[in-house]
Amino acid sequence: MTFSIFEGQGTNQIIFQFKASPLAVTFKLTGETDDIFQIQPDGLLYHSKALDRETRAVHKLQVSALDAHGNTVEGPVPITIEVKDINDNRPVFLQSKYEGSVRQNSRPGKPFMYVNATDLDDPATPNGQLIYKIIMQLPKVNNVMYFQINNKTGAISLTLAGSQELDPLKNPSYKLVASVEDMGGQNEHSFSDTTSVDIMVKENIWKAPEPVEIEENSTNPYPIKITQVRWNEPGALYSLVEKEKLSKFPFLIDQEGDIYVTQPLDREEKDAYVFYAVATDEHRKPLAFPLQIQVKVKDINDNPPTCSSTVTVLEVQENEQIGNSIGTLIAHDMDEENTINSVLGYRIVDQTPKVPRDGLFLVQAYSGMFQLALQSLRKRDTPQYNLTVEVSDKDFKTLCFVQINIIDINDQIPIFEKSDYGNLTLPEDTAIGTVILTIQATDADEPYTGSSKILYRITQGDSEGHLEIETDPETNTGYVKVKKPLDFEAVDVYNIVFQAENPEPLVLDVQYNASSSATFRLIVTDVNEAPQFSQQLYQARVREDVAKGTKVGNVTAKDPEGLDISYSLRGDKRGWLKIDPVTGEIFSVASLDREAESLYRVQVVATEVGGSSLSSTARFHLTLMDVNDNPPRLVKEYTGLFFCYPPKAPGSLIFEATDDDQQSFRGRHFTFSLGRESLRKDWEVSKINGTHARLSTKHTGFEERVYHIPVRINDSGWPPLEGTVSLPVTFCKCEEDRCFQPAGHMPGIPTVGMTVGVLLTTFLVIGIILAVVFFQIKKNKGQHNVESAQASEVKPLRN
């Protein structure tokens, strides 16, 4: 027997009353009584002192029944006394004071020390369940807690704020007061204890190193150590992570935290690298945030100057003043900008020809700008000079070539061959791109230069840009073309002024005058134009069940001459629509059917009333929106459904339904049921999914014949429609799992006599046809012999 008793209860508490056979006159108690448990002669078991679970949690006793001579009559019976715990012990910290240290910027939530407490009460009960708390932090900067404790394990770690803000220079130490409470901290009668925790803040050595400079193309042996990182404690695993994916990453880190470059670097290929150093524990979990490593590649002078082009071409006008800038020679150096390695110097080393003298040009030593040095130039003396220029940096030299062309100055204006090009009459439907006029001006400056090239433009009379002028670059002839459609109704007369100009600016003392302009008058005549629709495609949407006479759309057209318009339809092959000839409103005149045609396309014709009866067309597209107007049906005709006769067990067949309405995005959802209530005792219909169902038999007592089973199918649409279909199911004898029916006369199959009659009739008809064909062949052959005999008189026979 087992008894449970709470510790701490008062004395003389009855536990159990034992009974024995009449021969027993007294009882005996043995075992772990600890002078606490006693039994009276009448078998009353009790404890005379309060129990203490922490002294002994379980007492093992034995009870025996004795006769008058002290002999055992019954027993001994084993008795177990379980002492149940009460909260009579307070938790106690193992130390009255704890000391620890933490590095600044340590990972939040990672424990750096523990506090521990014990409680003698049963840990399997709330009495022994301990909860840890931090009840004080000194100092508490800005009322922010820098430390946190795991309430179950006593592990102390940094909060996110502590990880970011702890600084040993500001506060090198902190004092915490930690408490522990039993009963899970949820009971007002729980016991508690406190301890102090002194924490030293150590400087974080996990810091990003200073940016590193590496000289490019170094010839020292590789790998070369360039910097290092260290985690706050030994045992960390180090690795490098690229910030950008490179075809080859030229750095590595060893497990001491030393970082190396593994190959020569080229600043012109890549001038800087940024990557990250990562420290992880043995489980590859990050110990802290990655550190950014910056590497700058230091330039050396390893690139010569280069010319921007094979020959730099400059131009200078005849009357250019001495000292004026002619142009600039541009050279490049791949070495680092704004360093001594990329500073370039320029020097002219040769001039060809040296006419009228050498040294006609100067070049600025560091900018490469050329100036006219000694005198103004004349094209008739020399039209072109070629210069050789030395470009150098502190270690390399390169020769570049400059060609200077002497250009004629623009001191002559273009002059029109005539000042008035008269009148021209054009119909308003003149095609775009048509040349309507040729104009010509001449310029006395040097041919084929910017000074003699002529550009024509219209300065007055065509603000909307209906005309344009193209210039022949060889002859300076101007071709006036139609650029935009002419419109008699908008503008019927254009008074045009042409201006001829050079792309090069004129010299200061020369200006354009009346000789550089000409006039022209364009008269536009009216042309009868077809009506114009406001758009070429009209679209509308209606439900397929709209009533006859419903307006489904509207079109609009206008006649440029202002004539009335009559509308009509073309291509209304189903006769569904009509159009109001005056307003252009389109109406339905018959029942619409989306299943027959979901997008109905017709043409609308607009014809002017009177005049030339010109017409134009536009398209009208009517989209029919579906309504539920088609009842469900079988997806196909089921003619081969059968069960083997006699059936050994109930069976089932699967069939599929559909309907002709538009399918929703959820798919079809049909419901199925038997068409007659009387069939329920023999048949059952069950739904498989939205389109398939199963027809099952309920027993095996069917005859060998065909059963026509009506099934109702509801489409669950709105309004819902229902269709009743008939499934023919045959019960027949089977061979090799196939229905077998012996041959016999069945309705619709001819008898043997009828079959013989049909065959004799067929043979008779074939005989008559053969006789006619044979007779015709003989007749044709005789005629052919006559013709052949006649032909043989003039032409020999040939094989």
SS (H, E, C) 668-726: CCCEEEECCHHHHHCEEEEECCCCEEEEEECCCCCCCCEEEEEEEEECCCCCCCEEEEE
Contact partners, residue 782, CB within 8 Å, separation at least 6: none
DSSP-derived letter for residue 208 is P
Which residue, 647, 759, 630, is CA-closest to 702? 647
To the question of domain 633-739 being in CATH 2.60.40.60, the answer is yes
Q: Going by DSSP bridges, is the β-strand pair 435-442/397-407 parallel, antiparallel, or unpaired?
A: unpaired
Position 777 scores a pLDDT of 62
Mean pLDDT of the region 260-271: 93
Superfamily covering domain 2-84:
Cadherins (2.60.40.60)
Q: Going by DSSP bridges, is the β-strand pair 131-138/477-482 parallel, antiparallel, or unpaired?
A: unpaired
Position 619 scores a pLDDT of 95
What is the pTM assigned to this prediction? 0.37
Position 792 scores a pLDDT of 32
More confident residue, 745 or 122: 122
The residues with which 196 forms a beta bridge, in sequence order, are 97, 177
Position 795 scores a pLDDT of 31
For residue 428, give the amino acid letter.
E
Task: Point out the least confidently predicted range of 218-222, 245-249, 324-328, 735-739.
Answer: 735-739
Mean pLDDT of the region 212-241: 92
Superfamily covering domain 212-298:
Cadherins (2.60.40.60)
Mean pLDDT of the region 555-579: 91
CATH class in words for 92-202: mainly beta
Which architecture does CATH list for 532-625? Sandwich (2.60)
Position 799 scores a pLDDT of 25
For residues 193 and 90, the answer to whether their CB atoms sit within 8 Å is yes
Contact partners, residue 557, CB within 8 Å, separation at least 6: 531, 532, 533, 534, 565, 567, 584, 606, 616, 618
- What is 306-407's CATH number? 2.60.40.60
pLDDT band at residue 535 under the 50/70/90 scheme = very high
Radius of gyration of the chain (CA): 56
Position 447 scores a pLDDT of 83
Which architecture does CATH list for 414-525? Sandwich (2.60)
Query: Helix (H, G, I), strand (E, B), or coil: what is residue 37?
Result: strand
pLDDT band at residue 414 under the 50/70/90 scheme = very high
Mean pLDDT of the region 154-176: 94
For residues 623 and 541, the answer to whether their CB atoms sit within 8 Å is yes
Position 556 scores a pLDDT of 94
Q: Does pLDDT of 147 surpass 70?
A: yes
Q: Does pLDDT of 9 surpass 80?
A: yes
Round to whole Å and give the CA distance between 153 and 111: 10
Q: Does pLDDT of 769 surpass 90?
A: no
Round to whole Å and give the CA distance between 481 and 435: 4
Round to whole Å and give the CA distance between 440 and 436: 14
Query: Helix (H, G, I), strand (E, B), or coil: what is residue 539?
Result: strand
Q: Does pLDDT of 564 surpass 70?
A: yes
Residue intervals of the chain classified under CATH 2.60.40.60 are: 2-84, 92-202, 212-298, 306-407, 414-525, 532-625, 633-739
Tens-digit pLDDT profile for residues 698-743: 999 999 999 999 999 988 777 888 889 999 999 999 987 788 765 5
